[in-house]
Chain A
Amino acid sequence: MLFDELERDAVTEMLNVAVSRSAAALSRMVGKPVAMSVPDVRAVSRAEALGTITGNRNTSLIAVGEQFSGPFSGRALLVFPEARSLHLVQAIVGEHLSLEEIADLEEDAMIEVGNVILNNCLSGIANMLGCRIEATLPHCFQGGGEQIFKRTIRDGDSGVILCTSIAFSIRDRDIGGFIILLMDLNAISNLRSAVARSVDGVRRGLPDPRNAP
């Protein structure tokens, strides 16, 4: 067990705060309300993460990845099934464009959307840990799940994968994707203690179950 339930809630909550900031940024970009939420965060194996993002189907995916370093390092990935990503791009750039036009813009738009979302997640984590994280410019990856993972999250990578689904709603479109955070062990233990600190605050506010009548 990586996180206990309360810790997991805390991480989920933190990511929710992060993506709602992303949503605010996106809705400013789009000029329309954007809703975003992350239902829960799980620590998974690479294979599990792969199964989750592909849905065990051989669909084509589009991913935006950033590499971060500092007191802790790792990779952040935002993954969408490509068909969804086109909807997302269409929702963002406007309905007036044709499929071809949108396909032309897809990469640009996806990079930017991924950038906004991932940066907000990373800055949320950095805030929580009270540290700076340096992140590279985002890159775009396309292809099957395994192809994308090969270039981003390698088999031999030590570390922990945090995986969460992310639900978007833009202009009445519901678009589901995933956020994958690969963190090195150092990062994860930093995160744990940071989470533990804030959770402690919460625990202190709760009645101790052992003292309960």
Chain B
Amino acid sequence: MTDTTARTVMDELDMGVVIVDDGRRIALWNTWMVRHSGISRRTAVGVDLFALLPAMAGGRVELAVRDALDTGLSAVISHHVNHDLFPLLRGDGMTDERVAQSIVVRPTRTRRGVGCLIQIYDQTAAVERERKLRAQRSARYHAVVDAARDCFITVDEDGAIWGMNPATEERFGCTAAAMQGQPITRLLPQLRDLPLLGDPLVAIRAIGAGGKEFDAEISMGSWLNNGVRHFTLFIRDVTERNMAAENLRRTERIQALGALTGGVAHEFNNLLMVIRANAELVLGTVEGEAAARAAEIVQAADRGRILTDGLLSFARRQPLNPVRVPLDTAVEDIQRLAAPLLGVAVDIAVAPIPAGTVAMADRTQLQNALLNLLINARDAMPDGGRITITAGPEPEPEQCHIAVTDTGTGMTPEVLEKACEPFFTTKDQGRGTGLGLSMVAGFARQSGGDFLLSSRPGAGTTATIRLRSATADAPTDDGNGDDTPAPTLPPPAASGDRGRRPGARRGTGHAGPWRPPRRRRRPWAGRPGISGGRGFRPAGDRHHAAPRHERGGPGVRGATDVSPAGSGADVGLSRVRHDPAGRGAPGGHPAQALHPRRSGTGHGHRPAATARRRGRIVMVHGSEAVSRSVLGLTLIGRAPIGSPPSASATGSVPQFRAP
């Protein structure tokens, strides 16, 4: 091949060719170079390359030329890495885009000795093609990943972050740009142990933007990129799912507990009644020491009865007698009833109750429930405070509520979560049984409503019982419900339920002579120091102008609805169906049948509910004697004036206190 043919071939090439001699002077400058540099061959040849193109002096190409000439080394130079290579324009008549070039520099020989060959490849088309491909690829990728609500983070096998989607930026309060190259542990410190990378599924507690914690479920995909392993972390917030699962677990636990306690309480109750009935029989026939002991047995059985009642309520196996209960009078009653229990430091106020708010519920049980709430409120305010009772219709049709709000200590989320479980108490032994709220909740649900508890530590508590509203044709409370004389107030010793005055226990227990309750007719309502509470605030007082129990209202921020709604409903039902006592039997209203007899005992205004329950027990045992004795038990809220203070004292608080 002659020199001329070689030249011609060079000029035909679709690439730039430049040869410089050992003095860096241009010996060859092919046509492609002329076309794209705009520098004629005449101008170029014989001139120092870097004098001709001073912008390139000191740059990568010059170093490569130096190495090639001085040492004999070769170099590749890529447009990816270097930005100012040969000042070449595409010159295709359409754009004056710069030529993306990759350059090979290698030593060569010229006629005069050592030289350097520079080959310049036009990569513009390839660059454009790559760019399009990448754009397509990333468009698909971004369409999926950027729209995702889950977090996507890409890391390499060292745990360095390579990328993240907008959901991640939002969730963790960071920017992809700032996190690039940072260790993944900056976002997820728990992943410190790198072996975790590659685990298919990792569940951790993560901390997102603003320190907000959440349960993160991380599934990991791994892929190889040019032999390097990368991981894509899909992070999903499963806090809600976990919470739902936890609720379900709790509900199941309570259901199981309910089934168990219900069964035990029921059997136990029957035994208690036998014990009590026999003790009463003995009581009627003996005198002195023996009578006192028998009376103690009766009393202990009564306390046991209250305990089992509580358990039955929780298990929703308490036979209920739903009647129309106008909430205004019910609240009035309970206010009167509870005032002496609450002590002087506690104010109680009632917000105006819309007239005609009538619940469908068992009156006695409702009052028990409210008493429980009031006593809890009192216990939460050892230094005094205010209780606000509100009641009224619910936004949902056919529903109403009664709520008790206190300004007490409130509950931590942990306590709140457990508060309605039976036997859960934070109170000292002997002061709390932990049955109160479980009973209230059981009653509410058994009545077709529910029970909501919202509380924050330091901010007080609102307990809301929601009930079905009574329909117009619903039965009323035995005709005497609303004009029932004020229920007997428990004696001051009832305040001893707080356990603050152990010495003040009534002499009905261990100390002192005991007389059968029935013979004891000392009304205590007029005793000094116990007549009525203090500081009934007028309705509309600013403290209860905004009832706090309203869901979503400002007062319940952070509140937890701990009502295990729906739990155990079927437990109660199935038990009823199999109940040999015939509580579920159609048409069987043994209570009604018994009622006259009960009136005959002198406690004429005992409500049907009580009677009915007693009636059931009578049925179980089928004994007149038992029935009479059982009916002798007075329950709070319905205790006739003159009923034994001891029974009232215990009965007023459906909590069992060890004698």
Query: Which residues of A are in contact with B by a Cβ distance under 8 Å?
Result: 25, 28-29, 59-60, 62, 66, 70, 82-84, 86-87, 90, 92-93, 95, 98-101, 103-109, 111-113, 115-116, 119, 122-123, 126-127, 132-138, 142-143, 173
Contacts and interface: CB of A to CB of B under 8 A. Distances in A.
A92 B78 CA distance: 12
Nearest to A106: B226
Contact of B76 (A84, A115, A133): A115
13 contacts: A60-B227, A70-B72, A87-B160, A90-B181, A103-B226, A111-B76, A116-B60, A123-B70, A126-B72, A132-B70, A133-B71, A136-B74, A137-B75
B160 to A, nearest CB: 7
A122 B230 CA distance: 35
Interface in B140-187: 154, 156-158, 160, 162-163, 177, 180-181
Contacts of A66: 73-74
A105 B80 contact: yes
A137 B106 contact: yes
Residue from A25, A99, A142 with most neighbouring chain B CB atoms (10 Å): A99
B160 A123 contact: no
Contacts of A113: 81
Contacts, number: 121
Interface string B44-88: 000000000000001110011001001111111110111000000
Contact of B227 (A82, A90, A98, A112): A82
A134 B71 CA distance: 7
A66 B67 CA distance: 14
A143 B227 contact: yes
B interface: dominant SS: mixed
B225 A112 contact: no
B80 A93 contact: yes
Given A100-B137, A106-B226, A132-B72, 6 more contacts: A25-B60, A28-B58, A59-B157, A95-B181, A123-B70, A135-B73
A80 B59 CA distance: 25
Contacts of B163: 98-99
Contacts of A86: 156, 228
B81 A104 contact: no
A111 B137 CA distance: 25
Contacts of B104: 137
Contacts of B67: 119, 123
A109 B79 CA distance: 9
Nearest to A113: B81
Contacts of B226: 62, 82, 103, 106-107, 142
Contacts of A116: 60, 63, 75
Given A119-B67, A122-B71, A112 B81 contact: yes
B134 A83 contact: no
B74 to A, nearest CB: 5
A109 B78 contact: yes
Nearest to A22: B63
A126 B137 contact: no
Most chain A CB atoms below 10 A, which of B77, B180, B227: B227
Contacts of B64: 119
Nearest to B162: A99
Given A83-B228, A95-B177, A134 B72 contact: yes
A92 B81 CA distance: 7
Interface in B95-135: 102, 104, 106-107, 130, 134
Nearest to A173: B181
B560 interface: no
A126 B227 CA distance: 35
B78 A112 contact: yes
A111 B70 CA distance: 21
Contact of A29 (B73, B82, B138, B156): B82
B73 A60 contact: no
A25 B74 contact: no
Given A98-B138, A100-B134, A142-B227, A133 B74 contact: no
Nearest to A138: B76
Contacts of A25: 60, 63
A100 B228 contact: no
A105 B78 CA distance: 10
* Ranked 3 nearest A-B pairs via Cβ: A60-B227, A99-B162, A134-B72
A137 B74 contact: yes
Residue picked from A84, A122, A135, most chain B C-beta under 10 Å:
A135
A145 to B, nearest CB: 12
A107 B228 CA distance: 13
A57 to B, nearest CB: 10
B141 to A, nearest CB: 8
A84 B158 CA distance: 9
Nearest to B156: A83
Given A122-B73, A123-B73, A109 B80 contact: yes
B154 A104 contact: no
B514 to A, nearest CB: 85
Nearest to A114: B76
B136 to A, nearest CB: 12
